[in-house]
Amino acid sequence: MANHDKLKTRLFEIIDSCFFNKNGKRKYSYLVIIHPKIYFVNYRSDSTLKYSKVEIKNVLEFLIDNIFVVFGNQVFQQSVGVPMGTNCVHLLTYLFVYSYEAEIIPKRLREKRKFLAVDFNSTFRYIDDVLSINDNNFHSYVESIYPCELEIKHTPESSTSASYFNILLKVDIKGKLTTQLYDKRYDFSFSVVNFPYLCSNIPLSPVNGFYISQLIRYAKVRSVNNQFLNRGKLLRNKLMVQGFQQSRLKSAFRKLYGRDNDLVRQYNLSLGQMLSDVFHTDCYSVLGTLILTTENFVYLIKI
């Protein structure tokens, strides 16, 4: 992550662009925050929850300049980056990296290289993970886009496969893209503790809600039914070892089937069939695939 001076400079430039046009003429005077609405106003507002450009900068500067870490009996002031876990850290990271990405398209257009700008249409980023599809030249521009503080790693599994979050992307011999559910924790030779134990004295209601959220995540990959059911079975087996009650998990599954039926009806299976499969004692899993079409493959980097 960048030092705080560079971080603030980049963020302040974004703030300026929100309040002023490119010609320097004021576009807005205040940002008004009245939950759930957030909007800009041109001149004045009677709201007491309005913030000028200067006020927003001052708040942001105070936040960044007053990050302290306690280690033993010593207190350290952080001068590079922002600590993980801070409520706004994701937003600050997004905006900092975006400030560099936002420069690349106008630059290509000024250079009369519109065709290169179009190539970025299928490039996506989530915090520090970038996925670029069908852009054979992307690797040539990565280091010129992002600042030197960001370490760039090329991380596909092979020339025809790459994982991006919970999806494993593969190109078959016919040039078609297949997708599978993927969790890197299953690649380790040891069991990774990533779900709560009920013996930890935590409330049951949020935990069962967490189980439903995991099933929703599996279903949203839009995989075929054996992918969804086998992952559901693996999750059920893991949670049972960690003290969960099968009756409560079944109840949560029924709630998912009724409340989020638009996600699970794609599998054309009844609730009874799903319950029988997921809550069967056999934990063997064979992941299925979903066929999509694409011309080239994926370039995946970690920044």
**Tokens of residue 203, six digits:** 């409330």
**Tokens of residue 136, six digits:** 């054979």
Q: 134 and 122 in contact (C-beta within 8 Å)? A: yes
Q: Are residues 194 and 68 in the same domain?
A: no
Q: What does each of the 303 residues of the chain score in pLDDT, given as a tens digit?
A: 578 999 999 999 999 999 999 888 899 999 999 888 899 998 877 888 899 999 999 999 999 999 888 889 999 998 888 887 777 888 888 899 999 988 888 887 888 877 777 778 888 888 878 888 777 777 788 888 888 878 888 777 777 888 887 788 888 888 887 777 777 777 778 877 778 788 877 777 777 788 888 898 888 876 666 778 888 888 898 888 888 888 889 999 999 899 888 888 888 889 999 999 998 754 333 333 333 333 444 445 445
How many domains does the chain contain in total? 2
In a domain, 262, yes or no: yes
Helix (H, G, I), strand (E, B) or coil at 126: strand
Q: Are residues 189 and 124 in the same domain?
A: no
In a domain, 226, yes or no: yes
In a domain, 157, yes or no: no
In a domain, 169, yes or no: no
Q: Are residues 19 and 123 in the same domain?
A: yes
Q: Are residues 50 and 129 in the same domain?
A: yes
> Which residue, 68, 146, 142, 150, is CA-closest to 100?
146
In a domain, 26, yes or no: yes
Strands (E), the chain: 30-34, 37-41, 50-51, 68-71, 74-77, 123-126, 129-133, 153-154, 161-164, 167-171, 177-181, 290-292, 298-302
Q: Are residues 26 and 121 in the same domain?
A: yes
Residue showing tokens 């075929």: 224
In a domain, 300, yes or no: no
In a domain, 31, yes or no: yes
Rounded to two decimals, the pTM is 0.65
Q: Are residues 131 and 198 in the same domain?
A: no
pLDDT tens track for 176-232: 877 777 777 777 788 777 787 888 777 777 777 888 888 988 888 766 667 788 888
Residue 16 — left, alpha, or beta (φ > 0 → left; ψ -120 to 50 → alpha)?
alpha
- Residue 87 belongs to domain spanning: 4-142
Q: Are residues 85 and 13 in the same domain?
A: yes
